[in-house]
Structure 1
Amino acid sequence: MPIVREFTLPDLGEGLTGAEVVRWLVEVGEVIAVDQPVVEVETAKAVVEVPCPYGGVVTARFGEEGEERLVGQPLVTVAVSPEPGTDVPDPQPERPLVGYGVAEGGKGARRRRLGATAVAASAAAAPAVAPAVAPAVVAAPAVVPVISPLVRKLAREHAVDLGSLTGSGPDGLIMRADVNRAIETAAVPVAAPAVPSSPDSVPLRGLRRTVAEKLTRSHHEIPAATCWVDADATELLAIRAQMNQADAPKVSLLALLARICVAALARYPELNTSVDLDANGAPAAIRRHPAVHLGFAAQSDRGLVVPVVRDAQQLTTEQLGAELGRLTAAARSGSLTPAELTGGTFTLNNYGVFGVDGSTPILNHPEAAMLGVGRIIAKPWVHEGRLAVRQVTQLSFTFDHRVCDGGTAGGFLRFVADCLERPGMLLRQV
């Protein structure tokens, strides 16, 4: 006889106590495998998929999309059928959410729908052990004859209720054409309301809310200043072209900029710092960080994130490039862990990829400095006493004026510009 197991939201780590349900990956009545992701949640640090340690039939889901769930609250219940002669496993051990990603039984895993008899049997077993949180439980619905996950995805994206459709396929199977007809019917224009509608209000949640809080705190707490300089990057681009002629992984421009930042921070360590406050919120001490944990701005579907390269001072340029590439790919796929988004000591912002020349960014609290690099474009430039067309970029440097004065900030920025213009200077730092 199946035994129903309750899977609760695991310990999230990084001091996080809850998460918002973004998207359910399974349906009630669906057969799942051990460690198959069942729900996608958004914490204050990242969006992650949560795998369930039980295999069996999903008998209930807890929490609607957009609802906050706390650590220890139930996510799903699963009817587990023990093998003959074996003991039923104990309830799931507590384990942190940090590092959860797509397992082998993830989004691409085959999912099977039970027949009506099996669903009825599993649903009948559920009430005896299901938790008494009736309002939050999603009851087992009647079996909707849909096999294709693409049809389910299309219906979910256009808010089509599959239970309201009559399938045109064999045995009433709902086909893609049925969903498309429902979408077209819903898209028929209606008369505009007589009274103008109120503006949409988008709540700040999860990662977006955390970013907003950090930027607000940085703006109010840190007396920031910014200085600029134009630099001739022609020689740096030439050096990169030479490096990439070798039969080895290509070196990105971002990796070279990261190497320059590490070298500059070795010369100006007072910029790899943060300010500690006393009980009254007043500056009390400047904390110097022994390691360079280099954050860099990366664009994702959910907005701007700042992944962190740990101990960047210990990595070669090639290793820096590999780690930057890995974190960038994770940002685009939404699989960054909370640990990969925290603990930075200095940020590199290559906003030139957006086609802009300059910026005065807000510091990434509690860091004390940020280097911005604009687009590299051909400009007229005086080179060796003659006018020439050179590849020029604008560098901007924003810093916390509590940790240094303009002389230190200017020295840092000038050193960075010199390394761009004469990359051979980096050899003195290797």
Structure 2
Amino acid sequence: MREFKMPDVGEGLTEAEILKWYVQPGDTVEDGQVVCEVETAKAAVELPIPFDGVVKELRFPEGTTVDVGQVIIAIAAAGEESAETPAQEPVAEPAEQSDPQPAQEAPGGRQPVLVGYGVAESSTKRRARKEAPANGTAAPAVEQRPLAKPPVRKLAKDLGVDLSAVVPSSPDGIISREDVHAAVAPAPAPQETPVPAAAPVAVPVAPASYDSVRETRIPVKGVRKATAAAMIGSAFTAPHVTEFVTVDVTRTMKLVEELKADKDMQGLRVNPLLLISKALLVAIKRHPEVNAAWDEANQEIVQKHYVNLGIAAATPRGLIVPNIKDAHAQTLPELAASLGELVATAREGKTSPAAMQGGTVTITNVGVFGVDTGTPILNPGESAILAIGAIKLQPWVHKGKVKPRQVTTLALSFDHRLVDGELGSKVLADVAAVLERPKRLITWS
């Protein structure tokens, strides 16, 4: 029997939700065949199986959130089905029903991980504790282990709460943070036995007391949960500064129309975002110091000699920021093709975790929603983010006369630890200058 464990399909991710199984017990699978689709904190990803055989067991149903390192599917190789199945049964049952920890490692050694950076370190440690007792008491101990995710276990440890004494409030039996806090709150009550202090312990009823007709509660998970955590971390770690400039982009809009008719650009995505992206790349080339990252551990500024241009994209699963690798080296047609592919992949929900890693600077186009501009928050690890406002026809002084012109407002947020006001202003001014007179794309590139 061979077991396939939930791999780390992103950078340091600890869990993923099984969205859909493509196989069922009894199906024959081949090496490289996609067996399921999972959603991580970054994207939806299809998982291929790394060996041939027959599906014996799906350890988790669709909709279950599984920790990295847990066995999700068991495969019997041809000729090994009858020999290996009995040996694995004592491990398979607890892993499916109650134990959120990884099952015992298969005889072939450590399973290969096709994507990501391997099994999380914590998973290996939990498996070692499970395998250590070789006597018959091991299985009952595992079955009685309370269900809780790693962050909840850490919280319980920090608060000195014994999880085996905590009663879960959710129907699936998984202990939540609220359950741990509730277990701490009534702790003094048992000392006053005569006083009916046990009754107020009905605190878990409070969250369910909302009006279910007038309110809807939506669990925060997946991409939205990761985005919230990243934005909080960025907002309270990097000192943000935002500068604004209002620009006459009439010539840029005319160039967009000309490029749409250009035979070299046929079939490519040509819009204002394309030229604004190119303008930002030109500004970074003129001021490479802005393309950097702050290394807190080593107290260093890491200068990037490449630009992985992030493009914020709204998807049904939340806001994601895939990036175009080495965008600085791409021609205008190549950049247009990359933008088109990025947007199409994001809309289909097929953006890979690798496409969202390693970004250096980002563009967010809030103008598509009719918004004038905003104060964007940096993506963690990046130095700057440019917000594009709505492009509107406005009265503008042009050549000494007030005329209707296409105008937009740009906002550049940057990390003030490594980008000072002068550098940030020069970058934003260069972007504006290119958009006012896009011929500078040729002279400055």
Q: Same fold (TM over 0.5)?
A: yes
* Structure 2 equivalent of residue 207 of structure 1: 223
Post-superposition Cα deviations, 1:116-151, rounded to whole Å, max 9, x if no partner, equal xxxxxxxxxxxxxxx99999xxxxxxxxxxxxxxxx
Query: Is residue 357 of structure 1 aligned with residue 379 of structure 2?
Result: no
- Counterpart check, 1:370 vs 2:385: yes
SS of the residue 2:335 aligns to: helix
Q: Which letter does structure 1 place at the counterpart of 2:279?
A: I
Post-superposition shift, 1:22?
A: 2.4
Matches within 5 A, 1:229-268: 229-249=245-265, 250=268, 251-268=270-287
| Match runs of 1:6-405 below 5 Å | 6-10=3-7, 12=9, 14-30=11-27, 35-53=32-50, 57-79=54-76, 81=78, 94-98=112-116, 196-197=211-212, 200-249=216-265, 250=268, 251-278=270-297, 284-405=299-420
Contact 2:56 2:74 in 1 (8 A): yes
- Residue identity in the other structure for 2:421: G
Q: Report deviation, 1:258.
A: 1.2
Task: Kindly provide the CA deviation profile for residues 336-364 of structure 1, in whole angstroms up to 9, marking residues without a partner as x.
Answer: 22111011111111111222111111111
Change in Cα spacing, 1:8 to 1:287, as seen in structure 2 (3 Å) is closer
Deviations 1:187-238 (A, max 9, x none): xxxxxx9994495443333332221111001111122121211111110111
Residues in 1 aligned to 2:219 and 2:240: alpha-carbon distance in whole angstroms: 29
Task: Indicate if the aligned counterparts of 1:268 and 1:412 stay in contact, CA closer than 8 A.
Answer: yes
Q: Distance in 2 between matches of 1:31 and 1:14?
A: 31
1:29 to partner: Cα distance: 4.5
Q: Is the 8 A contact 1:397 1:413 kept in 2?
A: yes
Between Structure 1 and Structure 2, how many residues are aligned? 330
Offset, 1:52: 2.5
1:413 to 2:432 alignment = no
Q: After superposition, what is the alpha-carbon deviation per residue over 1:60-100, rounded to whole angstroms, capped at 9, x for unaligned?
A: 211233433344432223455569xxxxxx9696132259x
Distance in 2, matches of 1:13 and 1:348, equals 22
Structure 1 portions without partners, runs of 5+: 84-89, 100-130, 136-192
| Sequence identity percentage | 39
Of 21-30 and 284-293, the range deviating more from structure 2: 21-30
* Maintained 8 Å contact 1:254/1:321: no
1:94 partner letter: P
The letter of the residue matching 2:318 is: G
What CA distance in whole angstroms lies between the structure 1 residues aligned with 2:349 and 2:325?
19
In 2, are the aligned partners of 1:11 and 1:96 still within 8 Å (CA)? Answer: no
- How far 1:408 sits from its partner (Å)? 2.4
Measured at CA, do residues 239 and 213 of structure 1 come closer, stay the same or move farther in structure 2, by a change above 3 Å?
Answer: same
One-letter amino acid of the counterpart of residue 414, structure 2: F
Partners in 1 of 2:302 and 2:420 — Cα distance?
16
Q: Counterparts of 2:375 and 2:45 in 1: how far apart (Å)?
A: 32
Q: Which has the higher helix share?
A: 2
Letter in 1 for 2:427: F
In 2, Cα distance between equivalents of 1:237 and 1:269: 27
Structure 2 unaligned spans of 5+: 81-106, 118-138, 145-207
> C-alpha separation between the residues in 2 aligned to 1:240 and 1:197?
50
TM-score of the pair, normalised by structure 2 = 0.66
Q: Is the Cα–Cα contact under 8 Å of residues 383 and 419 in structure 2 kept in the other structure?
A: no
